[in-house]
A = this chain, B = another copy of it.
Amino acid sequence: MPVPLYQAKAEFFRTLGHPARIRVLELLQDGPRPVRELLAEIDIEASSLSQQLAVLRRTQLVTATRDGNTVVYALSTPDVSELLRTARSILTDMITDQGLLLDQLRADTDADDGGRGADAARPSTDRTLLA
């Protein structure tokens, strides 16, 4: 096995580790879209979106082609969809299985319960929630 493959994998996943980038990939699952449309849906500054698109381009997850005045982005491989699907299923499993559900609820209502629920559900030594 080639040595730094896990290194490449880590970089790859880091690429996905940003809400705007995830958003973009999800939107592109339905087909190519111009920046303008992405921008309309993603609530982020134009230049920030551009930066994130650049990251996706660098890692070749998306392709960009210019069409006159606008630039149209597309997924460079449909495998990405599959990856996102798997990720979602892991996530929803985790959310329903574990107490993270509570966080989700609490985030909506901003209740003030001392923050214990999800932690108590889990046996290991750790007491901080992800935030």
Q: With A19-B7, A79-B89 in contact, do A130 and B13 touch (Cβ < 8 Å)? A: no
Q: Is A80 an interface residue (CB 8 A)?
A: yes
Residues of chain B within 8 A (CB-CB) of A18 are: 10, 14
Q: How far is the CA of A2 from the CA of B5 in the complex (A)?
A: 35
Q: Is A64 an interface residue (CB 8 A)?
A: yes
Beta-carbon contact of A60 and B122 below 8 Å: yes
Which residue of B is nearest A121, CB measured? Answer: B4
Q: With A54-B126, A83-B83, A129-B60 in contact, do A19 and B4 touch (Cβ < 8 Å)? A: yes
Q: How far is the CA of A2 from the CA of B91 in the complex (A)?
A: 13
Q: Is A94 an interface residue (CB 8 A)?
A: yes
Beta-carbon contact of A119 and B7 below 8 Å: yes
Name A87's contact: one of B9, B57, B130 (CB within 8 Å): B9
Chain A positions near chain B (C-beta within 8 angstroms)? 2-14, 16-19, 21-23, 26, 54, 57-60, 63-65, 77, 79-80, 82-84, 86-91, 93-95, 98, 100, 104, 107-108, 111-115, 117-119, 122-131
